[in-house]
Structure 1
Amino acid sequence: MIRTGRGALLALAVLCMPAAHAQPLRTSTLLPPAAFGPFTGVARQGALLLGTAPAGTTQLALDDMPIEVARDGRFLIAFDRDAGPHASLVAILADGRRVTKEFDVAPGEWRIERLDRVARTPVPDAEFERRRPAELEQIKAARLVHSDADGWRQRFIWPATGRISGLFGAQRIYRGEPGAYHGGVDIAKPAGAPVVAPADGVVILAAPSPFTLEGNLLMIDHGMGLNSAFLHLSKIEVRVGDHLRQGQEIGRVGATGRASGPHLHWAMMWQGRRIDPMRVAGAMAQ
């Protein structure tokens, strides 16, 4: 079953409850922060945390943003690449009491390249400017789709293995002007190499023709607002609405769109926040 829009997300948040990962706590309200279950993961820029909400939780919010909670109390939160140093998780119980857990968010270690003698000079591209708005609308609409997938609970695997040719968060600074940071991880592979689903999910976008930037773009919803995007594919082997199992082949590596050579670009987002796939999947087994 697939639900769309913010209303469905808020409705789910009322039905479910959260979980937690081991982080130092600073304050609590009425009930101790230990009422949250232990968290899996580390509070860090670009990272995910899985936790369990206190018994009787009816609402959960991270810095005032409603958080979806599963019926067994498990939930997912994440911190953007540029997240601030502190975050507050608040659970409201059925009797009106509140439980607050404060996180100290560790900074990420991003590869920053400073080009003090090079100006940022994007080349105008009329075709790109003409097509890009409609492509962005498709991507935006796909990210509003929330499925009942449970892939967010799984230990993610790499969709392809090989040399890491691009790191999440890498950024160039042109004469003091920051360029856009790299929003995913690049895996260098020959064209035609298989790509598999890193976790269970539902296909929310399978580009019918190559996008100007992403090329053949595939997006999968893993549930709880967590999704993956796979760029530059030479072939997409699944369709919108397909329910996928972890390890299932979903496409082939390519160099479509704006790519200098064949590779897989894997990007992940949670509730609009960009996260590091390498921190989700862990060390790659070659």
Structure 2
Amino acid sequence: MTGRSAVPALLLLLAALPAQSATVTGQPVEGGLLFVQGAPGTTASLDGKPIPVAQNGSFLVGFHRDSPRSVVLRIREPETEEERIELQVAQREYGEQRIDGLPSGLVTPPTDILQRIRDEAERVREARAAPVITPHYLNGFEWPADGCITGVYGTRRILNGEPRQPHYGIDLAAPRGTEVRAAGDGVVVMAERDLYFSGGTLIIAHGQGLTSTYLHLSLISVARGNRVRKGDPVGTVGSTGRSTGPHLDWRFNWQNARLDPELLVPAGPNQQQCD
């Protein structure tokens, strides 16, 4: 595995906004997430697409791995004129990761498996689109497990010598059965024990389109519809699905944008980079 992808220094937008406007904090960078706090009744859009806003006026804006360099955020608070904010999204450089030894059917699935894969992908999309409005994310996030970081966000993956999609999460190697905890408060919107690529798959919705995902689990101890709190046990590390050994693949999505967990929660002393 190559080293971590380069991340620009933290860019705060506070200085870019007038004093009376909504408060915006975060990183306008590929894989980053903005946290916005407006007044109750605020409406917002990104490049003309409406953004869900909580009753208290809070909302999120996320940026995909290959985000456009410039996007337009519009915010309208009650009894004020609309603010138009052009965000310059910092671009990143990504490394490459080679993984060998995978069963050939997990790299290039047989044709009789393709419909199953399509059906599972649709169920994942539906789960991530669940209309969870409560801003559970306001309570913050923490790492869901302790272990060794063996894969980072954005890397181009070469599987058994064949180029495949970039990696959109953090791989955390740990012994099989290691406890996995909810990264933040939310509602379980998917708890599947045997998806073709991701094996044991858990998705938690944190509000306004933000979800966290936990892949390759050997055990899932919560069910769809359960409310969870940050730090609650939700499963254990495994090697199910397309996997070469026990690890947790941890991801965040905001709507259709794939986010970098390390930009939301920097690694601590119990999560070390491995060679």
| TM-score by shorter chain over 0.5 | yes
| C-alpha distance after superposition, 1:209-231 (max 9, x if no partner) | 41110101111101110001111
**Structure 1 stretches of 4+ moved >6 Å:** none
Q: Which residue of 2 aligns with 1:22?
A: 13
Residue identity over aligned pairs, in percent, reads 37
> Which amino acid in the other structure matches residue 193 of structure 1?
T
How far 1:23 sits from its partner (Å)?
Answer: 5.7
Q: Which residue of 2 aligns with 1:235?
A: 219
> Which amino acid in the other structure matches residue 170 of structure 1?
T
- How many aligned residue pairs are there? 251
Judge conservation of contact 1:48–1:78 (CA < 8 Å) in 2. yes
1:262 to 246, 253, 261: 246
1:223 corresponds to 2:223: no
2:127 to 142, 147, 153: 142
Aligned to 1:283, the other structure's residue is in SS state coil
Q: Which residue of 1 aligns with 2:3?
A: none
> Which amino acid in the other structure matches residue 22 of structure 1?
L
1:98 to 75, 82, 98: 82
Alignment of 1:20-99 (within 5 A): 21-22=12-13, 25=16, 33-53=18-38, 55=39, 58-95=42-79, 97-99=81-83
Aligned to 1:210, the other structure's residue is in SS state strand
Q: Aligned equivalents of 1:57 and 1:105: distance in 2?
A: 27
If you compute each CA radius of gyration, which structure gives the higher value, 1 or 2?
1
Moved more, 61-70 or 250-259: 61-70
Relative to structure 1, the CA distance from residue 248 to residue 67 in structure 2 (aligned partners, 3 Å threshold; closer, same or farther) is same
Judge conservation of contact 2:156–2:166 (CA < 8 Å) in 1. yes
Judge conservation of contact 2:151–2:170 (CA < 8 Å) in 1. yes
| C-alpha distance after superposition, 1:32-91 (max 9, x if no partner) | 7444333221111101111223x5764211111211222332221111111111121112
Q: Aligned equivalents of 2:221 and 2:97: distance in 1?
A: 37
Q: Which residue of 1 aligns with 2:183?
A: 198
Q: What 5-or-longer segments of structure 2 have no aligned partner? A: 1-11, 99-106, 271-275
| C-alpha distance after superposition, 1:172-195 (max 9, x if no partner) | 479xx9631001110000100000
Q: Which residue of 1 aligns with 2:141?
A: 156
Judge conservation of contact 1:49–1:76 (CA < 8 Å) in 2. yes
Q: Say what the alpha-carbon RMSD is for the aligned residues.
A: 2.5
Q: Aligned equivalents of 2:205 and 2:97: distance in 1?
A: 33
Q: Which residue of 1 aligns with 2:104?
A: none
Alignment of 1:102-181 (within 5 A): 102-112=86-96, 123-172=108-157, 179-181=164-166
Q: What 5-or-longer segments of structure 1 have no aligned partner? A: 1-20, 26-31, 115-121
> Which amino acid in the other structure matches residue 179 of structure 1?
R
